[in-house]
Amino acid sequence: MAEKVIFPNSTIGVIGSSPNGIALVRKAKQMGFKTAAYGSNAESPTLREADLPIVGRGNDQLQLQRFAERCDLVVYESEQVSSESIKYIQKFTSVPQGSEALELMQDRLLERAFFEQLNVNIAPYATIVSLDDIYQAISSIGFPCVLKPIQKGLMRTSQFVLRKQSDIAKCAELVEQGTFILESWIPYQQEISVVLVRDQNGTLTYMAPLETYYKEHRLIQVVGPAEVDKPIWDEAKNIATLIGDNLNYVGVIEVGFFVTQAGAIYVKRIVPAIHEAGDIYQYISNVSLEEEQLRAAANMPIVLPKVVQKGAIGFLQEKDFNAIKTQWILKENWFYNFFRYPASMLPQSTSGFVFTAGQTGSEAKEQLDSTGIWDGARLEEDKNE
């Protein structure tokens, strides 16, 4: 059942401290809401931007309750927020996104069980609790493959790529740390995302398709709208619709896909929150994901997205700043967004991004690539989520 409409001067709470958080707080203020924010660091830009900052750990029930009771509704700003924290907050206030989708997608085994229930195409995998399990599973999984902990959000060093039989023994210490999955490596040609918004009546609204590029597990470029063959897009959209219809969730959802050279589509992951790839929409669309997320949470009508230009985003690290100085002087069509983390929150994997427009998304990407700043933006570099 749809919840009540939330009007201006009501208080919207944001939990989490990624760059999505400060963007949500700023957009909520622009829409006339009062804002509260919850996080573990008082210097977080999200907490500093909010009207009411509340500092506490994810398991601090006293502070979570204090935060929740001051909010007419709460949104979580990324998939990194603890599902247990959301469950507890729901005892005291409305969280339209709910905790079920978040809990499901933070556990790789639960996530894959959900995919299998829907009969969507995913990479072959096996559950691993001992080294012997790997030896037994490798005949069906094959090389190369990836060993991953079932809980997402753990350090990337907890993942291990196996390319040959002798690599199995190297996993001995790792598998002693908990339960893992062993997943086939899918050789893919393109990685795309379908981003949609699910309102409180279950109606789905689709944003323009995106193409994403990774290096060493880090998102480094996004092209939008993606240049995707119509049959591929139609199939990806149908799968995303099936997923959206079966999730108990309200708000922005990203469904990631691998597309092979033969045109086969594999579901990579679901993000039941705003993902950083969606930063591009504030430039190429008539509406941002932050506005759509807040509209869905407040039970407002969802904006029908329209593409207003084509372009690409390149994400930046602190080490890129010297190289950016040259482009800062030369490029009149580059638009910058730096996250400005306090020293207490450093280091971060991403320090900001630059957007540029083009006649096509590929042309915009070529503008970025020509600088050499994003050398190594290869599709093959990242498969592990």
Q: What is the pLDDT of residues 370-385, one digit of tens each?
A: 999 998 554 444 444 4
How high is the pLDDT of residue 217? 80
Which of 348, 349, 347, 325 is CA-nearest to residue 336?
325
| Crossing angle between the packed helical segments 289-297 and 19-30, to the nearest 10 degrees | 70
Which of 302, 373, 380 is CA-nearest to residue 331?
373
270/256 Cα distance (integer angstroms): 6
352/373 Cα distance (integer angstroms): 13
CATH of 11-95, one of 2.60.40.790, 3.90.1720.10, 1.20.1250.20, 3.40.50.20: 3.40.50.20
How high is the pLDDT of residue 383? 44
The answer regarding whether domain 124-184 maps to CATH 3.40.50.300 reads no
- Neighbour tally for 243: CB within 10 Å: 24
- Strands (E) located in 98-137: 125-128
For the chain, which residues score pLDDT lower than 70?
1-2, 154-157, 376-385
Amino acid 128 reads I
- Strands (E) located in the chain: 11-15, 34-39, 52-55, 73-76, 125-128, 145-149, 160-162, 180-184, 190-198, 204-206, 210-215, 218-224, 251-259, 265-271, 310-316, 334-338, 352-358
For 49-101, how does the pLDDT look when each residue is reduced to its tens digit (9 = 90+)? 999 999 999 999 999 999 999 999 999 999 999 999 999 999 999 999 999 99
Fold: same for 11-95 and 190-381: no
* DSSP string over 162-189: E-SGGGGGGGHHHHTTS-EEEEEPP--S
For 227-259, how does the pLDDT look when each residue is reduced to its tens digit (9 = 90+)? 999 999 999 999 999 999 999 999 999 999 999
**CATH superfamily, region 190-381:** ATP-grasp fold, B domain (3.30.470.20)
How high is the pLDDT of residue 379? 43
Q: Where are the domains of the chain?
A: 11-95, 124-184, 190-381
How high is the pLDDT of residue 154? 56
How high is the pLDDT of residue 384? 43
Q: Using DSSP, state whether 47 is helix, strand or coil.
A: helix
